[in-house]
Amino acid sequence: MRIATFLILSVLTACTGGSGELLQAESCVTAGCSAELCVLESDSDIASTCAMNCEDLCLEHASCVKAEGQCGWEIDDDVAYDDCIASCVM
């Protein structure tokens, strides 16, 4: 299982106040203007900048899951995700 970490830290800080600990009974859901955030269900109304990034589109190859007690992105298809990220030219 590979977890994409590029969004996890900022989302965890926003959702947990920096503690990094989530309630075990709470599910993780996608949030934000383009579903680019993976957050606790209770934080699903969190605001995002609504700036569409190429990398956000690549999250279609990932699932928002709770892993090790924290919300994060689990890559569903490594090859498709890596190809998508590689196609994002800045």
pLDDT more than 90, % of the chain: 54
What pLDDT is attached to residue 52?
84
pTM of the model: 0.67
The answer to whether the beta carbons of residues 33 and 55 sit under 8 Å apart is no
Domain that holds residue 35: 3-87
- The backbone torsions φ and ψ at residue 85, rounded to the nearest 5 degrees and listed phi first, read -60, -40
- Count of Cβ atoms closer than 10 Å to residue 73 Cβ: 27
Total domains, the chain: 1
Question: Residue 19 pLDDT more than 60?
Answer: no
- Measured between alpha carbons, how far is residue 73 from residues 10, 30, 31, 38, 62 in Å? 13, 10, 12, 7, 6
